[in-house]
Every structure is written in structure tokens, then in C-alpha cells.
Structure 1
């Protein structure tokens, strides 16, 4: 009888602690963005907050500008797991300064890389490190209509990276060095050109970005531009279509943050503390996206795959007891 009483007492205490944790966390609304890395992170956050902290989570469909606007105007949703700051920098700075939004953490710890990529094996074999190195070897990069020239595979029409790439290539006099720009027509066309070249053991030179499934599938090297990033020059010319006098410049690293409403920052408790430390690197994110691409998996599936296969990453975000609860729920 004494043993039963003791067990009931322990169970009651555990239930009370669990209820207290849930009460502290409360309801959390999270934007599930419509691109893979952000949508998957929303599902990861939902699982950890519900199973590890006892929160009640609502996932709401989201996109960069509509979600940002709603958070400022209506304080909903509470959390945007992955907002790319470069596209909304001025209004975000204004909202933070006004006390409407709070930047909780850097969700991509090493930022979002973009720029000129080549296959890593090719870079290592020929000692290609900088853009000058690459442009000295047009013969290594087939795909141009003129077979005697090297190919640079550019972004689809309408993407900002197309004019930026063209400006940078003109600054380096790539055409005079034997290269021509090859249109790709669409995102699928750009990705397909990269995949085909790598799988056939050929050279490929073009614009790409991360985190993406392809950078998780294939070992690619981001070409060092050999010069530092210059914001003034970027604004003056690099990012301006058909700028008449482009100068050498580096690519701007994308900054992706987790942003919350000020109301949530004040009352979020354990959930807010979790978001302050939660984040992953591009290599991990790209590996998860590659698995999702290969398996035609949804955001929720990607979250499960990450939690099952990368405990070395996510257990650093939570306490040991929360980690055990999440593992048990998997």
C-alpha cells in the first residue's frame, strides 16, 4: 500500500510538473512558410515545443511579406521561423526599433550562401579557388552554344541574380576570357543543368544558392570572388540591371532570422528561450532537403527525418530532460 501511495504521489508530481510546463508555454502560432527549409523548421519547432515543452502549437500558412505584415499589424503569427532579412531589411529594422518585433535568433547560423559554384572535385583537381582561376579555364566548362567557349549557367529571367551575375561577369571581363552566359529558362532548368553535369563528371559553372536540396546531393564549391563585399558598390551598380560600369565585388550573404512578435517575446517563456538558441547550418539543412527531394517528402516528414538522424544538432538546443521527451515521442 505504501508503495502504491508513493507511486501515485510521484505520478501526480510528474503530471503537475508537465501541466505547469504546458501552462508556462501556452499557445504558440508559427508560420509554416511555403519553401522547404522554412517549412521544415516550422514543423521541427512544432514537434519540439509540443512534445518537449507541452505547448499547444498552431501552424499557419506563411510567406515572407504577408507573414511579416501580419506580425506587425496583428501580432499574428507569434513566430516566423525563417525570414530572409535582405528582402525586408528596412521595414524589419523599423519594426524592431518600434518595439513591434524581436529578432530571436539566426536560424541559419552561417547565413545563406549565394554566388558562383563549381563541382568540388573539379576545383580540387585543377586548383580552382578564385573567380580568376575559373575564368582562366573556359575549356573545363562545356555547355555553351559556341563549343569553343566556356559556359556560365545563369538564373531564370526575372530573378535578381541574373542581372547581378551579368554585372559581375562584365566586371571580370568573362566574355573576353572565353565565356558566354547560358540561359536556363527556369529554376528546374538551372538545377537540371547542374545535376546533369555533375552526374556525367563534367564541369559546371553557374549561379546557385543554399540551403538547397542540390547542395545536399552534390559536393559543390562556392567560388571565392577574391575581393570583399562592398555594400556601397552593390547598391550603386552591382545590383542594378545593365549598370554601365560594374566593378569587382563579392556576393552578399543572405541573412535568415527567426523573428517573433514583441507580445510573444514577453510572454513566450520556455518557447522563447528555445527559439533564442535554435538554429542549424547550411550543410545540415541541405542534407535534410536532399532527403526530402529524393523521397518526395513533405515538411513534416523532413522534420521527422532531421530529429531522428541529427540528434547531435537539435539536442544542443534543449535541456536533457526535454531531449528525452522528444526522443520518446519519435
Structure 2
């Protein structure tokens, strides 16, 4: 019986030691499923979250495949996965807002603080040489600055590949701005690689280029491009009612909507009270940062895990503001 106090002390000592072991906080965070969505910016953000949540907060993190509609639908109906790091919510705003109002889901940080951006762009070297070109109307006054690849006497507006929604909206904008009567033709880029290649060629040869693109993307991290002002606000009813349709005969001038991009959490994970919630409610980055990271990933054929490690090693000034100094020190260990 005299040995029991010693055994009790040993157990107490072991329990105290466990609280000092990195990862022992897992009990306060637990198992977390994070959606690894199937586009580059979302993939790298999911891996950044995995590294910070696991190393910094002791969470047991599992990445699960995802995409916007299936992931958010599963979160609304089944409560899994726990985290959608980069949810582009414009297309699912109504049911998502309802789920948030009912307390089933919660908005955390704006993943992209600038939002997702769409529109017509020109190279920065053209914008610098012609400071009068600020809007789409301004650009359409100068077909000679944006020669079409196969019609040198015409200006070219580069379109999206067939089957993409932006092929319809760009074609509608081309009609709405009466670009044909201003000396322009629509340029069929054929594929994503063709569209990117046309931007690369124009920048490397210091030539003119005009067309549709979006951010954040790797090509805008590699080449300086300037988004033209539409000169009009977003007309949601006309945009969705005609400009996005195949049979839109009378499209209107309208800006593209800026996409709202949030991190979304399930109620179960929100209620764990883990300090990791504070990180997910703070973590937000700008399109310039994402563009540059995606450009590095593309140039180096890097996957999401590679990109996450590269970002955390090379951008402590950005991500350490998302966490406490203690968490930052844990994450930096072994990078």
C-alpha cells in the first residue's frame, strides 16, 4: 500500500508532461476534415490550413476531395467536412445564407480579401504607355493597339475556351459594347493553355492584348496585367438573365460581379471552442499574394503541399499575423 502514493504521483507527472508535448492540444481541437477543392488556389490554401492547424493547434487534420457545390451541400446536409477554406459563394448564396441563419454553418474569414475578380484586361506596359485607356470603352477606341492574331487590320478580344461560362459572358460583352463595329473580332483561344499562352506571348514581346481573364491565377502572378473599368455597375438581373445565356440576343453593358470568397465552418467544429477557430476567422490574403504563389507553383510544377511549405517559409510577414507568436513558433519548427 505504501507504493500507491508513488504510483499516483507518477500518473500525475505523466499527465502534466503530456500537456507539454506538441500535439497534446489535439483534445481541444480534435479531428478536423478540411475540403481540398480542385483548383490551384483552394488546394494550396487547404494545405496551408492543414500545416497550421496540425502543427500550431494540435488538430488531427484530414484533407478530403471537394468542389464548390458538392462540398457546401454536404456541409449543409451532413455537417461534413468541417472546413471549406475557399468557398466561392455567389452561386450558392441563398441556401448558404439560410444554413448560416439556422446555425448549421458559419462564415469565418474572407479567404480572398479582394474577392474573385473577373473582367477584361490589358498588359501593364500598354496601360503605362497609354494612360488614357482606363475603361473598356477607352480600349475599344484603339483596335490598332490590340491586333488580332489572324486579322492584322482588326483588333482582337481574346475569349475563353468553348464550354466555359466566361465564353458566353465575354461574347455577350463583345456585343453589348458593339466591339465589331469598332474594328474588333473575337479571338478563339481554343483552350486554357491557349488563353494563357496568348497573354504570355504579348507580355514577353511587349505587344498589345485585350481580353477576358480572372484573379487570382498564376498567369497574373507572372505577368503584370491591368483590369479595365467596365464603366458601369454590375446589373445582376441582366447579367444572369441574358449575358450568361447561349441565346442572349440583346446583352447589356454590365460589370462582372466581384465574387465573395469565404471560409465556411460547420456548427460542430465552431462549437469545439478550439483556438484554431480564431485562426480561421482571421486568415485572409490578397490576390497579389495568391497570384505570385500560384505563379511559383506553376513554374516549379509544385503541388498544394509544396506551395504551402514554400509560402510559410517565405512569407512569415503575412501568415504570422494570422496566429499568436506561440503558434507561429510551432508552425515554423521543421519547415
TM over 0.5, shorter chain = yes
For residues 11 and 209 of structure 1, what CA distance do their matches in structure 2 show?
55
For residues 273 and 292 of structure 2, what CA distance do their matches in structure 1 show?
31
Deviation per residue, 1:95-146 (Å, 9 max, x gap)? 2233222111210011011110110111110112111111011011123432
Which of 57, 64, 69 pairs up with 1:60?
64
Question: Where does residue 52 of structure 2 map in the other structure?
Answer: 48
| 2:22 is equivalent to residue 30 of structure 1 | no
Gaps of 5+ in 2: 1-11
Maintained 8 Å contact 1:131/1:225? yes
For residues 18 and 290 of structure 2, what CA distance do their matches in structure 1 show?
35
Name the count of aligned residue pairs.
322
For residues 69 and 177 of structure 2, what CA distance do their matches in structure 1 show?
35
Question: Where does residue 313 of structure 2 map in the other structure?
Answer: 308
Maintained 8 Å contact 2:112/2:262? yes
Gaps of 5+ in 1: 1-8
Aligned partner of residue 246 in structure 1, secondary structure: coil
For residues 313 and 167 of structure 2, what CA distance do their matches in structure 1 show?
38
Question: Where does residue 137 of structure 1 map in the other structure?
Answer: 142
Aligned partner of residue 117 in structure 1, secondary structure: strand
CA shift, 1:155, in A, is 0.6
Deviation per residue, 1:237-262 (Å, 9 max, x gap)? 33333422222211111111111111
For residues 197 and 313 of structure 2, what CA distance do their matches in structure 1 show?
30
Deviation per residue, 1:34-87 (Å, 9 max, x gap)? 111101001000101111111111111112222122212221111111111122
For residues 25 and 145 of structure 2, what CA distance do their matches in structure 1 show?
59
For residues 219 and 85 of structure 2, what CA distance do their matches in structure 1 show?
22
Please list, as runs of the form range in 1=range in 2, the aligned pairs for 1:15-26 lying within 5 A after superposition.
15-17=18-20, 18=22, 21-26=25-30
Maintained 8 Å contact 1:163/1:242? no
Question: Where does residue 116 of structure 1 map in the other structure?
Answer: 120
CA shift, 1:266, in A, is 1.2
Aligned partner of residue 147 in structure 1, secondary structure: strand
Please, what TM-score do these two structures have when normalized by structure 1? 0.92
After superposition, the Cα gap between the structure-2 partners of 1:138 and 1:75, relative to the gap in structure 1 and judged at 3 Å, is same
Maintained 8 Å contact 2:87/2:262? yes
| 2:190 is equivalent to residue 185 of structure 1 | yes
For residues 95 and 280 of structure 1, what CA distance do their matches in structure 2 show?
25
Maintained 8 Å contact 1:144/1:180? no
CA shift, 1:329, in A, is 3.0
